[in-house]
Amino acid sequence: MDDRLAAELIRRLFELEPRSHGVQRRLYLALRHAVLRVELPGGAALPASRMLSAELGIGRSTVVRVYEQLLAEGYLRSATGSGTFVSDSLRMRRPSAGRSTASMHARTGLSTRGSRIAAQAGSSPFQAGAFVPGVPDVSHFPFAIWRRLVARQIRHERRQLAHYGFGGYGPLRQALAEYLRVTRMMSVRPQQILILNGAHQAIDLCARMLCDEGDSVWMEDPGYWGARSVLDACGLSIDPVAVDEQGMDASAALEPSAPRLIFVSPSSQYPTGVVMSLERRLHLLERARAAGAWIIEDDYDNELRYHPHAVGSLFGLDPGQKVIYVRTFSKVMFPGLRLAYLVVPERLVDPFARGNAELYREGRMIEQAAMAEFIDAGHFTRHLRRMRGLYQERRDRLSEAIESRLGGLVVTHGGQAGLHLLYRFTRELDDAALADRTLREGIVFRPLTLYYRDPARGAPGMNLGFAAVPVERMAPAVDVLAGAIEAELQRAPRHRTRSGG
């Protein structure tokens, strides 16, 4: 783990310790916590004391004293000339790798469902640096504009915005209807647009309103882990459907399987980036019609498209009105905003709005009003245009660096849109073990096998997020990655030893 990641992690833990303890005790507890819970793995380098003291805003001598205490207690070890490290004797499997549903169930008293949710959790604690996928570069977000727009809404005269709201803020739904008309050729009434707190909630609402426990859902395989977790937590039975160079292949689905729901990302399949062909789209709609199934179309990163020819939405192609369209602002605004929206067919408008109010209660009209202004005043389009240029350059740099360092070892997928490039290995390699190895050196990526329903049967590879990596850091980060791949290839036994599944 590199200094910056480690310092960020330590700061977060430090802030959680009670202030009444004083800074030295707090830092001591935070670090011990990090080591014992293997948030800093054995062998990981600690940030230099100067850097950490700056990060935490405390005296450097305090940091040095705490390091010394933990060295004395055996939590840390120091190597002359190269710094301070987490003691190797504490090296162990990260808890995420060792978690088992059964043991969690017994230890904590969680339900079977809860144990499964916690054990399968795929969300990463890392949200910056090379190569965390799905993370935009928030340092280029126009915070000054956003602050002004939000502040303008928080006024006594606008106090109706302090209430729950129902379905979402009218002008935002209008702005989005217009935006979808122009950019996605979708003709929808504002009422069909439901504002939600992120794509996970949107998927959860669809699953609960449209499916009963035990219903079958088709998911692309590989596919988005988050959607899988949410659908699984709703009690759905997930049928993985293979993806090829034309997208999800409905004809590859098991014949007797009649899905109740189909989750698909046709504009840019996640994580492979494949654009679903028109033939496949029509076939999918036909299969859905025959089965009486609903379709969730996840249009997650179509706004960050690097080629001008956008593909139409599945929603617009469906005369049967069985498609529900999901889109998030997380990638194009900032993740912590937690705003997303659903577009639903007319007959679902009322029950979905009711269901949403009932299950989650609505609100956050202040942020929604600011978002409406952000779009109406042109800031949204401007920000998108700017980020598209920036990300395209980063994508190209990553592509070049990988080509020059790992040319024969990987095959590239995607990159037409979005925040990541996907690489499959041409040689047998344990991508999860590789991810563990690179993490220690400060490089985070998501192994491709984790996107499969059964990781043991998935193709090994790397999902590399390039969006939050400045161009000058691209080549050095790829160097680290290449070194780790080399080391992993040389490690015996060479066959894959992936645990779990």
The footprint of a copy of itself on residues 79-138 (CB under 8 A) is: 104, 107-115, 117-118, 120-123, 125, 127-128, 135, 138
* Under 8 Å between Cβ of 42 and 88: yes
171 contributes a contact to a copy of itself by CB under 8 A: yes
The nearest distance, CB 367 to a copy of itself, in angstroms, is 8
50 contributes a contact to a copy of itself by CB under 8 A: no
166 contributes a contact to a copy of itself by CB under 8 A: yes
* Under 8 Å between Cβ of 340 and 116: no
* Under 8 Å between Cβ of 237 and 196: no
- Residue 242, strand partner residues: 221
Q: Which residue's CB is nearer to a copy of itself, number 382 or number 494? A: 382
411 contributes a contact to a copy of itself by CB under 8 A: no
335 contributes a contact to a copy of itself by CB under 8 A: yes
The nearest distance, CB 53 to a copy of itself, in angstroms, is 18
The footprint of a copy of itself on residues 417-456 (CB under 8 A) is: none
Single residue of 87, 183, 191, 392 touching a copy of itself by CB under 8 A: 191
Q: Which residue's CB is nearer to a copy of itself, number 128 or number 310? A: 128
Q: Helix 49-56 and helix 60-72: axis angle, to 10°? A: 120
What is the spatial distance between Cα 212 and Cα 29, in angstroms, rounded to a whole number? 46
The footprint of a copy of itself on residues 211-230 (CB under 8 A) is: 211-213, 215, 226, 229-230
Sign of CA dihedral 382, 383, 386, 388: negative
Query: HEC states along 369-417?
Result: HHHHHHHHCCHHHHHHHHHHHHHHHHHHHHHHHHHHHHHHHEEEECCCE
The nearest distance, CB 482 to a copy of itself, in angstroms, is 28
The nearest distance, CB 494 to a copy of itself, in angstroms, is 33
Site string for a copy of itself, 367-406 (x = CB under 8 A): ----------------------------------------
**CB atoms closer than 10 angstroms to residue 290:** 9
337 contributes a contact to a copy of itself by CB under 8 A: yes
290 contributes a contact to a copy of itself by CB under 8 A: no
Q: What is the dihedral of CA 468, 469, 471, 477, to 10 degrees?
A: -170
Q: Which residue's CB is nearer to a copy of itself, number 267 or number 356? A: 356
User: Pairing state of beta strands 247-248 and 237-244?
Assistant: antiparallel
351 contributes a contact to a copy of itself by CB under 8 A: yes
Q: What are all long-range contacts of 75-84, with beta carbons under 8 Å and residues at least 24 apart? A: 75/31, 75/32, 75/35, 76/35, 76/46, 83/45, 83/46, 83/48, 84/45, 84/46
**Kind plus residue range of the DSSP H or E element containing 105:** helix 101-108
Single residue of 359, 377, 456, 459 touching a copy of itself by CB under 8 A: 359
**CB atoms closer than 10 angstroms to residue 491:** 14
CA count, 13 A, side-chain hemisphere, 455: 21
Q: Which residue in the block uniquely carries the two structure tokens 């330590």?
A: 10
Single residue of 364, 397, 413, 453 touching a copy of itself by CB under 8 A: 364
Among 83-91, 205-213, 436-444, 486-494, the segment contacting a copy of itself (CB under 8 A): 205-213
The nearest distance, CB 178 to a copy of itself, in angstroms, is 8
Q: Which residue's CB is nearer to a copy of itself, number 138 or number 310? A: 138
The footprint of a copy of itself on residues 132-151 (CB under 8 A) is: 135, 138-139, 141, 143-144, 146-147, 150-151
The nearest distance, CB 330 to a copy of itself, in angstroms, is 8
Q: Helix 199-210 and helix 346-360: axis angle, to 10°? A: 110
